[in-house]
Structure 1
Amino acid sequence: MFYLLGITILMSLAIYVGTAFYISNRSGYDRREENVELFKKEKENLKLNKSLPQEYLSLLVNEREQILLQDVPEEKELVVLTKKDSLFRPLFFSVFSFIAICGIYFQPLSMGSLKDLQTYQSINGFIEADFESRKETRGSVIQELKGFMNQTETRASEIYLLANRFKDINEFLITSLLLKSLIDKHSDEIPLGIYAEYAQILFFRDNRVFSKDVEIALELALKKSPVDPIALTLEGVKNFQAGEIDLAMISWEKAKENTNDGNEKLTIQEAINAIKSMKNQ
């Protein structure tokens, strides 16, 4: 955050310097232009005066030209003078730019955007840490995530992406909390496969034991989508652990038929082959 504020301040200073320099040079340019135009008008007026002899007319024109040229200060002096006169405008632009940039990035502060930024920084730090370091901060990250998920403007896609990031580092407890929030708050817009993913994550969270939570989640997943390959595979594992070998084979055959993932098909087929080998012994 301090890095962003530093960049914003530097940008504002750059705008101030650029604006002040432009105004100064522009002021000098306008001053010279005005004197040139004034000289032309006076020269025409003098020429219209027919009562003046030609040599007097030339003398007056030359004299007026010298006066107007001397009236313009040297370039460096002119820049200093105009900078003093035009301090307010570039200062206004720089302050306005600073407020606008901060507003665009952090806006609206009243809705908690700065808190969201701090939450994302905590999440990224947690995900990039090693397993031992994550033990110390897991509780605080869970609390921050709960606050993040309780916000009414949190989108389903944000929660799902976060869940996948925690799943990739085997943080199944946090992943299960995120998927549970996703199901509770966005059940009308999420794919039905999320229910099977949730049951699978609970299975991993509970050390591959079919706890009551896992069984309830699996039953709901099969009810929502009876042909979901993840739910059918998990059902096959449950039947296999219960000694129901034939039922396990049926579930896995259905799972293999309904998945489009080549690696998943291969894994299921290996499980089926293992059961067949056991039955033939």
Structure 2
Amino acid sequence: MQRTELNDLLAFEAIARERSFTRAAARLGMSASALSHAMRGLEARLGVRLLSRTTRSVSPTEAGERLLRSLTPALAEIEDGLTSLADWRETPSGTVRLTTFSYAAETVLQPKLPAFLLANPDVNVEIDVDDGLTNIVEAGFDAGIRFGETVAKDMIAVRVGPDLRTVVVGTPDYFDRHPKPETPDDLRRHICINYRLRTSGGLLPWEFAFGGRDINVRPSGQLITNDGPLAAAAVRAGAGLGYVLEHAVADDIAAGRLVQVLAAYCPVFPGCRLYHSSRRQTPPALRAIIDALRVSGA
């Protein structure tokens, strides 16, 4: 196989994965026009159409899907071989692609990533912040950061954030006007601030547990929003009860600005975990990021 053909196959794999010439070009460090020219040449040499192109999207044809299935394990094996050579380097290097969500970007990456970059000048990091659940293998990411309960069982997961708890809070003024709920079912008679999920478009369920039994409640109220700070402002103003992460309102509770209720029904759940495939070798650059983000003792 000539070097040109191998380069064109790598380019095809990137386009088929990204479903975009622009994103694939950025990933490969080349122009979209050069990528398009390479694909036309590859299709001409093979005598089959590999990509279906429209003005809005690009996707593999049936022949392209078959080629992609053949290429994937071969390219993965080549990548693993190259990765193993990096163990002989004195310092980690290369590019690490991470997918995460807004909360983890703020609480896990913002405090630690800048110092990591300064200490590891040969490591390039690409972060994609997406509140949806991304298949890191299919999307070409090296790792992801999500809440532990959403990480697939076949992934290697490392604790990079503390365990968390979601609590119900309201202002003293709100409770002057409304009796405190004694059970989650009482929330149906309260004014609650609801959060609409950006990914599914559904409302975030208020999840509780008691006596080994899960309890999900979908209360109603005047305000529904997909903006966390706006929801928090409404709760702090006394406009309704909020269902929020405990650490986000810990100072308000301690100062008496907010009052927590239903504490016995609010369980702890696994916090942020960095996860990566158990079927691939871990590149030194990714290992270095894991070590930098890992919670002490994890």
Same fold at TM > 0.5: no
Question: Structure with the greater relative contact order (CA < 8 A, sep ≥ 6): 1 or 2?
Answer: 2
Specify the structure having the higher radius of gyration (Cα): 1
> Which of the five TM-score ranges fits, normalised by the shorter chain?
under 0.3
Say which structure is richer in strand.
Answer: 2
Write 1 or 2 for the structure with the bigger share of helix: 1
What TM-score comes out, normalization by structure 2 length? 0.23
